[in-house]
Amino acid sequence: DAGVTQSPTHLIKTRGQQVTLRCSPKSGHDTVSWYQQALGQGPQFIFQYYEEEERQRGNFPDRFSGHQFPNYSSELNVNALLLGDSALYLCASSSAGTANTEAFFGQGTRLTVV
Amino acid sequence: AQKITQTQPGMFVQEKEAVTLDCTYDTSDPSYGLFWYKQPSSGEMIFLIYQGSYDQQNATEGRYSLNFQKARKSANLVISASQLGDSAMYFCAMRVPMNRDDKIIFGKGTRLHILP
C-alpha cells in the first residue's frame, strides 16, 4: 500500500513564475491538506481539500490555490512566485472528521525560488 | 485559539539515555488528538505516536511513550534508550476535527542530537 506521494521532490523556479505541486493521498483517505515549512520552522497550514472543495484555509494569499480531483489527489498552485515562497511543501492525507487517526505525510517538495 | 508550544529549540543527549521532549497545548475543544512527528534531514514527516483527548491510558509505541497530563495541557514525548538514529527534528502537533475546522497545528519543533 503506497503512502502519500508527492511530485516533484525538488524544484527550482524564478521569481514571478508559477508552480504546480502534486499529491496522491494514502489509499482510503479522502482529505488532503497542504503545509508550507520554511527552514527551521514548523509546518504552516495552507489549506485543506475534501470532496473536491477547499474546506478551510490558513493565512496565505490568493496566490496560493489548489484543486482536488475525484480520485482524491490534489494540486497546489502558486502564482507570481516570491523569494519568500522558498520552502518545503508537505502534503498530508487523512480521513475526514476523525481525531483519532493520524495524518500521513508525503516526503515533501522542496521549492527554491531564485 | 489553538496553539502548540515547544520550549526546547535544541537538546543534546547521550546515546542510550532516555529523553523527554516537552509540549504544551491550548484548545477549548473537548475532542482533540495529539501527535508527535519525527522529521529527519530528508524532510519527510514520520508519525511516531498519537494520544486522543479521551484516552485514559498514556500512549506507547515501542521506545516512544507520550506523557499525557490533561489538566496541565501537556503532552511530552519520552524516548527510552536513545539511539544515534533518533537525531532529528521532533514536532508536537494537535488536530481538532470540529465541523469544517479540521487541520493539524504544529509547534516550532525541537532538534534532538544524540551523542555517541
State residue B44's pLDDT score.
Answer: 87
Span B11-22, pLDDT tens digits: 999 999 999 999
Kindly list the residues from chain A whose CB atom is less than 8 angstroms away from the CB atom of residue B102: 31, 48, 55-56, 94, 96-97
Q: Does A92 touch chain B (CB under 8 A)?
A: yes
Span A2-13, pLDDT tens digits: 689 999 999 999
State residue B2's pLDDT score.
Answer: 84
State residue B42's pLDDT score.
Answer: 86
- Which residues, in sequence order, are CB contacts of B76 under 8 Å at separation 6+? B20, B21, B22, B23, B66, B67
Contact B33 A88 (CB under 8 A): no
Which grid cell is B72?
496541565
